[in-house]
Structure 1
Amino acid sequence: MIRLIRRIVRKLLTDRLSPQSEQLVVRAVYYVCILILMVSVLNEFGFKLSALLGAAGVFGLAIGFASQTSVSNIISGIFLISEKPFVIGDAVQIGTTIGVIETIDLLSIKLKTFDGRYVRVPNETMIKTEVINITRYPIRRANISISVSYKEDLTKVLAVLADIASKEPLALSDPEPLLHVDSFADSGININYGVWTNKESVMLLKNALMLSIKERFDQENIEIPYPHVKLITEGEINS
């Protein structure tokens, strides 16, 4: 019976609420039905409702302090549902954890990481922690930090990088790629290289760009610097 009620409620709410709001309402209806069923069964066995309420009051007082965290999570969940910083199916970063949101419940959200791990994050943590919605917008920029030798012609290097972006099928021409000389490091000159693509293709684009950069730099004899260590013998020091 309860499953039937859940199906009816879900059918009525389809296309009327967001997936996370629908999920929350369906779960709330489920718990209310369970409560009503329990009260009905106890009533059939002769338990009086007044006695149950009295016992529930004493029991509730005993666990009141322990339930503060749960209440905080429920309130935080309501704020998350109303604010909608993310929806089911979004990829988010919470601290060092990155994953796709599978469910948004009264107490927590559940993530599936890209390497197949299950992560539960309390709603209160979501409110207090910076959450990065990776897939909120339809396009994203794949960012790559590149270092070239001091002897290289930067105009030529930037032209090669622009050409790589223009020939990459996954890359978008609008917005234009980012080509920015960032800093002078110990071993070389650092360049920020960013190319826009559809949000689903960020990792594929970054991989393709890395392969193309290595291939083109080899063809154009553009040196990618790396740390060098020079060993000096005792004889060289004394000479």
Structure 2
Amino acid sequence: MMAQLTAYLLSEQVVNILQAVILLAVGLLLASVASRAVQKLLIRHFSQHHAVLFKRLVYWLVLALFFASALRQLGFSLGVLLGAAGVLSVAIGFASQTSASNLISGLFLIGEKPFQLGDIIKVGNTTGEVLSIDLLSVKLRTFDNLYVRIPNESLIKTEMINLTRFPIRRFDLMIGVAYKENISEVRQILQHVADNNPLSLDEPAPLFIFNGFADSSLSIQFSVWTKRENFRDLRNSFQEEVKIAFDKAGIEIPFPQRTVHLVQPQAVTPQQSSDSNNV
């Protein structure tokens, strides 16, 4: 019994299986080391998402080479496997035209670089942080911590807004004041609030625009600039400070109003009623 077991363990089939397992283990190790080294090398000269993409490419390429070597060690013919893979890829290509479109769109996104990992983008009604940029889709994390996958084809066809592309952003405050208010005084109050807000930038300078005469108010736009990481804090604090300053100065922010004039009908006299009946 022991002699048969020893002979089986020393047989060529078992040795080939062990060699194939060793090749796969070494391949996993080398693929991990090589991909990390490539990422560290490329991140100095390329964007983060390009480095991550090349890291994955090197990982799977090295792993595929060792996997092919393991199959050859087990006695599989690589020519037959490649032929079968070619036929299978053609069949899958006809069955998954959407995936092919997403793949091509992903290559365009990689070349165009409209956003990077960590950017905040808005696609349709979805706004979130870019977690990964893959060949088939882009993954986002929304502000309420939801995971959103957007196909690359949709990104190519749809308007996309990168909210963190540039280092500063502008906040536009759209506000209306009563017709009785002094526009110059309103301008001074808004400018004073902007000057005292630590998140508001002095350059570019705040912008005051008198948009015109609305139905119930004088329409005003006041725009201030801030660093992109402070945009949300500025939007909250600036509007609160404007409301407090307007209340202190007695500036009225009107709400829509309608004036209704009631016309009393004229009373009909008996003589008019008689004349009408005679006609």
Would you say same fold, with TM above 0.5? yes
Any gaps of 5 or more consecutive residues in structure 1?
none
Residue of structure 2 in register with 1:29 after alignment: 58
Taking the aligned partners of 1:112 and 1:188, their CA distance within structure 2 comes to: 40
Residue of structure 2 in register with 1:148 after alignment: 177
Could you tell me the TM-score, scaled by structure 1's length?
0.90
Is residue 2:68 matched to residue 1:39?
Answer: yes
Residue of structure 2 in register with 1:219 after alignment: 248
TM superposition shift of 1:237: 6.0
TM superposition shift of 1:192: 0.8
TM superposition shift of 1:231: 8.9
Residues 72-121 of structure 1: per-residue CA shift (max 9 Å, x gap): 22222222222222211211111221111121112222111122111112
Contact 1:165 1:171 in 2 (8 A): yes
Residue of structure 1 in register with 2:236 after alignment: 207
TM superposition shift of 1:5: 2.5
What secondary structure, in the 3-state scheme, does the structure 1 residue paired with 2:150 have? strand
Letter in 2 for 1:139: I
Cα distance change, pair 166–21 in 1 and its aligned pair in 2 (3 A)? same
Taking the aligned partners of 2:197 and 2:37, their CA distance within structure 1 comes to: 49
Residue of structure 2 in register with 1:90 after alignment: 119
Letter in 2 for 1:142: F
Residue of structure 2 in register with 1:107 after alignment: 136
State the Cα RMSD in Å: 2.2
Residues 129-183 of structure 1: per-residue CA shift (max 9 Å, x gap): 2221111111111111101111211121111111111111111111111111113
Taking the aligned partners of 2:90 and 2:138, their CA distance within structure 1 comes to: 28
Larger Rg over CA atoms: 2
What secondary structure, in the 3-state scheme, does the structure 2 residue paired with 1:135 have? coil
What secondary structure, in the 3-state scheme, does the structure 1 residue paired with 2:95 have? coil
| Matched residue count | 237
Name the structure, 1 or 2, with higher relative contact order (CA <8 Å, separation 6+): 1
Letter in 1 for 2:250: N
| TM alignment of 1:1-239, pairs within 5 A | 1=29, 2-228=31-257
Please identify which structure carries the higher helix content: 2
What secondary structure, in the 3-state scheme, does the structure 2 residue paired with 1:85 have? coil
Letter in 2 for 1:216: A
Contact 1:23 1:105 in 2 (8 A): no
Could you tell me the TM-score, scaled by structure 2's length?
0.78
Taking the aligned partners of 1:8 and 1:188, their CA distance within structure 2 comes to: 63
| Percent pairwise identity | 46
Residue of structure 1 in register with 2:270 after alignment: none
Residues 1-29 of structure 1: per-residue CA shift (max 9 Å, x gap): 13222222223323132211111111111
Letter in 1 for 2:140: L
